[in-house]
Amino acid sequence: MDCDKCGKPAKVHLTQLVGGKVKKVVLCNECAAETGVTDPTGFALADLLLGGGGEHGVATAIPRPPGQGRACPECGFTLDDLKRIRRFGCGACYEAFRDQVKDMIRGMHKGASHCGKVPDGLMEMRQRKLRLGELQERLDQAVTAENYEEAAGLRDEIRQIEESMANSETPS
Amino acid sequence: MMRFSTLLKHPADWMTGKGADNAVVLTSRIRLARNLAGVPFPGWARKEQRQQVLEELRPTIEGLSCMRDGFSKTLDSLSSVQKQVMVERHLISREHAARGEGSAAIIERRQEVAVMLNEEDHLRMQAIRPGLDLSSAYEMLDAFDNEVAEAVEYAFDPELGYLTTCPTNLGTGLRASAMLHLPALVISDQIGQVLQAVGKIGLAVRGIFGEGTESLGNLFQISNQSTLGESEATILRRLERVIAQVAKHERNAREKLLEDDPDMVCDKVGRAYGVLRHAWIIESKEALNHLSLIRLGGDLGFFPEESVLMCDELLMEIQPAHLQIQNGKKLGAEERDGIRAEIIRSRLQTLEAPDIHTIKKQEGDDDSPDLGIA
Ligand SMILES: [Zn+2]
Ligand SMILES: [Zn+2]
């Protein structure tokens, strides 16, 4: 068999069976060494348990500046970046590219919606944050309208929520 | 905090199969991928942002009760050989070893829980147990994950679950796997069938194949591929069931080999013993394949029971970075092959030649599990 990189006789074989299909990478000793694999069997053994190497290739930093196309408002990751590297820039990208996500995960998983674990307190935290934003907005309006009595009440409520969030963030 | 030399000196119990039936299933591993909300994922984050994540997560993880007296190092503070040793010990991934500034590895003192910070995701946590025991590995890591979640806010979406850099990990972020030693299925040529059947259920099988279908050391890994659309319990239950079935097939194949062709088995094990006892230069591939047969022999009663444990320790010790760190210097491939042979010879010195005559045939168990294989 010939090396996938240079065509010389290959010595290093990494094979995986994914979804009933066999995927193979074969390299000659030189190319294996070049990719940092000094003794492929040692690495391969580790990959076998850790699921590295063949699964993901080398996950280095994504080169900036970002590509063209619609961008995630939080991190600037673009639709082009997504198409190129099939990875996401941040959590908010999933919201920004929700339609593309649907296409991407079709056939990738058993289902399209999560039915596993939900982090404790996360939903609560999220609701508090939403509520906080809401109150802040009303406070700004009250201040602009010089409605100081309402503003004072709103400030109290905001302080209360902030305190309870700070408390729940520090583990006992 | 634990020093690197301590980490090196004391291999975890799970690495050497202590206290579990690991003759076929060596280890069970659970990995969870998690990210922080509001910060770009490591591959897309700027250097300062990665540093910021590290500064938030590292003290949080180090502060958890189970991490007391554990090991914690940033990757830029470890040498490349040290990092490779950790890869060989399955404590960090190869990808993680390639990282430096802004990434860290935190390992619980029994090395059952290991955390990688800023690998592909902000947080990659793993728990490993010897033998087939995915559920207790998951329980351990689930509790750990809960503790972390109390201190930080995870990137989570009600529909998509835990959000990850790569969509292949979405949802539960759970990758469960087991490492299996399947020499009898390989020798009896049933391995292809079994692995195809496992693949058809949607699970992934990996092996390190040389020429033909014989995998390096007859070692295989089975893991789930799908992480979204099913609960953790469902994923684990299916995987555990299938792994148990494969293990059963291997057991049956071992019994059948002894029954049908004991001479062939004795010949294979005996030759492996002969080579390892007397080789002066040995590549890791050849060493692994022979050790695999000694391991099989240990399980079949050719050698004392402890020889399985000895093989597992050797499997680790003869890897390149381990050889280099033991010798305190960088070694060329030829030097390594010499030292490897020396280590194996000295460990095998106390192992007597296979006791062929006392091998008793065991009654076969006809209760064959159903993997859809004729
Ligand atoms: Zn090549
Ligand atoms: Zn984004």
Assess whether B5 and B129 both reside in one domain.
yes
Contacts of B166 in chain A (CB under 8 A): 56, 86-88
Q: Average pLDDT, stretch A87-97?
A: 95
Lowest mean pLDDT among A1-5, A65-69, B113-117: A65-69
User: Of B153, B171, B189, which residue sits at a domain end?
Assistant: B171
Contact between B182 and B191 under an 8 Å Cβ cutoff? The reply is yes
Domain with B135 in it = 1-18+30-171
Looking at the domain assignment, is residue B184 inside a domain? no
Residue B314 has pLDDT above 90, yes or no: yes
Looking at the domain assignment, is residue B192 inside a domain? no
Looking at the domain assignment, is residue B43 inside a domain? yes
Q: Average pLDDT, stretch B178-198?
A: 92
pLDDT tens column, B333-356: 889 999 999 999 999 999 998 876
What is the spatial distance between Cα B185 and Cα B359, in angstroms, rounded to a whole number?
20
Looking at the domain assignment, is residue B153 inside a domain? yes
Tell me the residues of chain A between 12 and 71 that have a Cβ less than 8 Å away from chain B.
Answer: 13-21, 24, 36, 38-39, 41-54, 56, 58-62
User: How far does residue B204's CA lie from ligand 2's centre (Å)?
Assistant: 30
Nearest Cβ partner for A89 among B38, B40, B90: B40
pLDDT in the model for residue B276: 97
User: Of B140, B171, B202, which residue sits at a domain end?
Assistant: B171
* pTM of the full structure: 0.78
Looking at the domain assignment, is residue B217 inside a domain? no
Lowest mean pLDDT among B146-150, B233-237, B248-252, B363-367: B363-367
Percent of chain A surpassing pLDDT 70: 57
Looking at the domain assignment, is residue B116 inside a domain? yes
Q: Is the dihedral of CA B366, B368, B372, B374 positive or negative?
A: negative
Q: Average pLDDT, stretch B56-64?
A: 95
pLDDT in the model for residue A32: 59
Percent of chain B surpassing pLDDT 90: 68
Distance (Å) from the alpha carbon of B302 to chain A's nearest alpha carbon:
26
Nearest Cβ partner for B167 among A46, A91, A108: A108
Asked if B208 and A62 come within 8 Å (Cβ–Cβ), the reply is no
Distance (Å) from the alpha carbon of B362 to chain A's nearest alpha carbon:
31
Ligand 1 (ion): residues with CB under 5 Å are A 3, 5-6, 8, 28, 31
Lowest mean pLDDT among B64-78, B313-327, B348-362: B348-362
Assess whether B3 and B146 both reside in one domain.
yes
Residue A42 has pLDDT above 50, yes or no: no
What is the spatial distance between Cα B336 and Cα B324, in angstroms, rounded to a whole number?
8
Contacts of B288 in chain A (CB under 8 A): 41, 45
Q: Exposed, middle or buried, B366 (CB in 10 Å: 0-12/13-18/19+)?
A: exposed
pLDDT in the model for residue B163: 97
User: Which tops the pLDDT comparison, A45 or A29?
Assistant: A29
Tell me the residues of chain A between 136 and 165 that have a Cβ less than 8 Å away from chain B.
Answer: none
Contacts of B167 in chain A (CB under 8 A): 86-88, 101, 104-105, 108
Q: Is the dihedral of CA B223, B228, B233, B237 positive or negative?
A: negative
User: Of B171, B196, B219, which residue sits at a domain end?
Assistant: B171
Asked if B44 and A90 come within 8 Å (Cβ–Cβ), the reply is yes
The count of structural domains within chain B is 2
Assess whether B11 and B118 both reside in one domain.
yes
Q: Average pLDDT, stretch A75-93?
A: 92
CA atoms within 13 A on the CB side of B64: 27
Asked if B206 and A116 come within 8 Å (Cβ–Cβ), the reply is no
What is the spatial distance between Cα B4 and Cα B79, in angstroms, rounded to a whole number?
11
Within its chain, how far is the Cα of B319 from the centroid? 14
Q: pLDDT class for B208, splitting at 50, 70, 90?
A: low
pLDDT tens column, A46-75: 555 444 433 333 334 445 555 567 899 999
Q: pLDDT class for B218, splitting at 50, 70, 90?
A: very high
Question: CB pairs under 8 A, 24+ apart, for A65-70?
Answer: A70/A96, A70/A97
- The helix/strand/coil state of B374 is coil
pLDDT in the model for residue B33: 97
Distance (Å) from the alpha carbon of B262 to chain A's nearest alpha carbon:
30
User: How far does residue A53's CA lie from ligand 1's centre (Å)?
Assistant: 17
Assess whether B167 and B266 both reside in one domain.
no
Give the count of beta carbons closer than 10 Å to the beta carbon of residue B296.
28
Looking at the domain assignment, is residue B331 inside a domain? yes
> What CATH number does the domain containing B152 carry?
3.30.590.10
Contacts of A17 in chain B (CB under 8 A): 195-196, 198-199, 204-207
Residue A171 has pLDDT above 70, yes or no: no
Asked if B165 and A87 come within 8 Å (Cβ–Cβ), the reply is yes
User: How far does residue A97's CA lie from ligand 2's centre (Å)?
Assistant: 9
What is the spatial distance between Cα A26 and Cα A10, in angstroms, rounded to a whole number?
6
pLDDT tens column, B79-99: 989 998 998 888 998 889 888
Contact between B340 and B286 under an 8 Å Cβ cutoff? The reply is no
If we measure between CA atoms, which residue out of B352, B290, B223 comes closest to residue A19? B223
pLDDT in the model for residue A12: 63
Asked if B94 and A114 come within 8 Å (Cβ–Cβ), the reply is no
Assess whether B3 and B104 both reside in one domain.
yes
Q: Average pLDDT, stretch B192-202?
A: 88
Asked if B147 and A113 come within 8 Å (Cβ–Cβ), the reply is no
Assess whether B289 and B145 both reside in one domain.
no
Asked if B151 and A169 come within 8 Å (Cβ–Cβ), the reply is yes
For residue A166, give the chain B residue with the closest CA.
B151
Nearest Cβ partner for B216 among A24, A44, A94: A44
Structure ipTM over 0.95, yes or no: no
pLDDT in the model for residue A168: 58
pLDDT in the model for residue A29: 65
Looking at the domain assignment, is residue B199 inside a domain? no
Asked if B228 and A18 come within 8 Å (Cβ–Cβ), the reply is no
pLDDT in the model for residue A33: 54
